Amino acid sequence: MRADARRNRDLMVAAAAEVVAEQGAEASLEEIARRAGVGSATLHRHFGGRVALLEAVFESSIAGVCARAEELRDHPEPLRALTIWLHGMVDHIATVHGLGPALVMSAEHGSQCHVRIRSAGRLLLERAQEDGSVPADVDISDLLTLVNGIALASGQDAGRAGHLLDLVIRGIAPAQA
């Protein structure tokens, strides 16, 4: 990759992060290109579509979520670890403007970052299931779909999203309070 192309890519991702934080995931691509100081053709050539751009923007966010799952892997109480992680997800999605819709698009688009989050979560869920805290008929796609749904449907209200997640967890772990 040529040096100028690399530089432009970084400019565009930075501008996109800024604009998406202000206006959400539906922000105008032209506005992003404008703010990055490049032609809109350049943006389209680099990313091909909105989804790829959003993935680049939220790359580090997603890496963070996966890292957090890794840290929780050896927690002594698997159900608690899963709960903490899911709360972290919901909170993060509700807080970071544009992330929720971006994850949905990326899931619909069958993209990489969704796979990464799935594997991260599956680890925690399976440990909680081996331990008997969570019934075997729950799978990680169910959980993430519910998390997506909750975060999307709660708008930017992280408190409400957390409350809804508590309701769902009560159901997933009927043996516990």
Q: How many helices (H) and strands (E) does the chain have?
A: 9, 0
Q: How far is the CB of 13 from DNA (least distance, A)?
A: 13
Q: Check if the beta carbon of residue 58 is closer than 8 Å to that of residue 97.
A: no
Q: Within 13 Å and on the Cβ side, how many CA atoms surround 151?
A: 25
Please tell me the distance from the alpha carbon of residue 162 to that of residue 145, in angstroms, as a whole number.
15
Q: Which C-beta is closer to DNA: that of 18 or that of 139?
A: 18
Window 83 to 112, contacts with a copy of itself (CB under 8 A): 104
Shortest distance (Å) from residue 100 CB to DNA: 18
Is 28 a binding residue for a copy of itself by CB under 8 A? The answer is no
Name the site residues for DNA (rule: CB under 7 A): 1-5, 8, 28-31, 37-42, 44-46, 48-50
What is the dihedral sign for C-alpha 144, 112, 60, 56?
negative
- What are the residues binding a copy of itself (CB under 8 A)? 104, 138, 142, 145-146, 148-150, 152-154, 160, 163-164, 167-172, 174
